[in-house]
């Protein structure tokens, strides 16, 4: 929770505007960093030049990536547009990050098999879906029961990165486990519905108004529901949220160590591995782009580099000695 009155006000305003919880956390972090960078000067007393100095500092002193700098910029654009009500100049002059994007870490099929063999049973299904369908971690965590289409063996992703929807493949091998998971969610819901304090599962504001009874229906429950009820930070009502993503991150790190995989393995590593293995098996790059939900084909093309031995299939002269 932000300690300052100003940051609490920003947080409340973002809740009213229906921003996602993680966006609120990220924006508050950047706004707080910006204020501290300028010796706790109130944002209302600063504008373009102070924002430019802060964004340049992130690159020159902290060497942040372009994506990180853009995240900070977005937070400050919001601050001055929606809170201060004095929008920033669209042509801000600051040092832009030129730090190269890291090449993705990819597991071999054998490493992937070993990882899934030792992952704990509680988290095996969501981890399997990350690899089997190439989902981002939060896309997986936010899945609802209704998003699983058993008839067409697909998963519907709503409001992924960039607010885009897409349909991805569902591995046949996961169908029995998914049906068991939905049965578990039904058991949770049956118990919740007899709890007088239960307020239904969280729904975005527009859906809350459109489907007034959906928050108590099985279809809208989180697929990977938490074992315990918790208070909604927006209105303090009692709800059953999805499991915390940090549990998946920890489970993957532990499993990678247990499987003796000498690479840094994160949930996103499984998404990278999904894309690379799809291309390896003969899928065309446009199909992989659609599955991953990339807006730009160039983002997907990074996986083709991984498959090119030594860079453009060049054979090292050492091999000819």
Active site residue ranges: 136, 161, 268, 271, 294, 303
Q: Is the dihedral of CA 188, 221, 144, 10 positive or negative?
A: negative
| Residue 154, beta-bridge partner list | 149, 169
CA-to-CA separations, 220 to 29, 186, 202, 229, in angstroms, rounded: 31, 11, 9, 16
Distance CA 58, CA 45 (A): 21
DSSP character at residue 83: I
Q: At what angle do helices 109-118 and 245-258 cross, to 10 degrees?
A: 110
Please tell me the number of Cα atoms within 13 Å of 16 on its side-chain side: 8
Distance CA 97, CA 29 (A): 19
Angle at 72 between CA 70 and CA 73, to 5 degrees: 60
Contact 164, 293 (CB under 8 A): yes
Distance CA 56, CA 54 (A): 5
201, 203, 206: which is closest to 216 by C-alpha?
201
């Amino acid at each position: 929770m932000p300690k300052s009155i100003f940051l609490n006000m920003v947080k409340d305003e973002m809740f009213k505007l229906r921003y996602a919880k993680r966006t609120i956390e990220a924006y508050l972090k950047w706004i707080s960093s910006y204020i501290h960078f300028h010796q706790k000067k109130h944002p209302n007393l600063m504008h373009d030049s102070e924002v430019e100095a802060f964004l340049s500092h992130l690159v020159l002193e902290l060497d942040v990536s372009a994506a990180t700098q853009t995240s900070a910029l977005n937070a400050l654009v919001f601050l001055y547009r929606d809170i201060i009500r004095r929008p920033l100049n669209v042509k801000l002059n600051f040092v832009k990050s030129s730090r190269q994007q890291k090449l993705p870490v990819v597991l071999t099929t054998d490493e992937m098999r070993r990882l899934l063999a030792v992952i704990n049973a509680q988290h095996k299904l969501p981890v399997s879906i990350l690899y089997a369908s190439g989902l981002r971690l939060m896309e997986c965590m936010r899945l609802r029961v209704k998003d699983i289409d058993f008839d067409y063996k697909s998963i519907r992703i709503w409001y992924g990165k960039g607010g885009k929807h897409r349909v991805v493949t569902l591995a046949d091998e996961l169908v029995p486990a998914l049906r068991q998971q939905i049965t578990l969610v039904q058991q949770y819901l049956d118990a919740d519905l007899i709890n007088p304090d239960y307020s239904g599962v969280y729904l975005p504001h527009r859906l809350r108004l459109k489907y007034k009874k959906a928050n108590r229906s099985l279809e809208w429950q989180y697929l990977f529901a938490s074992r315990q009820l918790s208070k909604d930070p927006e209105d303090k009502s009692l709800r059953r949220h999805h499991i915390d993503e940090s549990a998946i991150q920890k489970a993957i790190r532990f499993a990678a160590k247990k499987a003796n995989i000498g690479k840094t393995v994160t949930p996103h590593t499984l998404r990278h591995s999904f894309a690379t293995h799809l291309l390896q098996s003969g899928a065309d790059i446009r199909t992989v782009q659609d599955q991953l939900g990339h807006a730009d084909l160039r983002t997907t093309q990074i996986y083709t580099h991984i498959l090119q031995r030594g860079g453009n299939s060049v054979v090292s002269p050492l091999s000819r000695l």
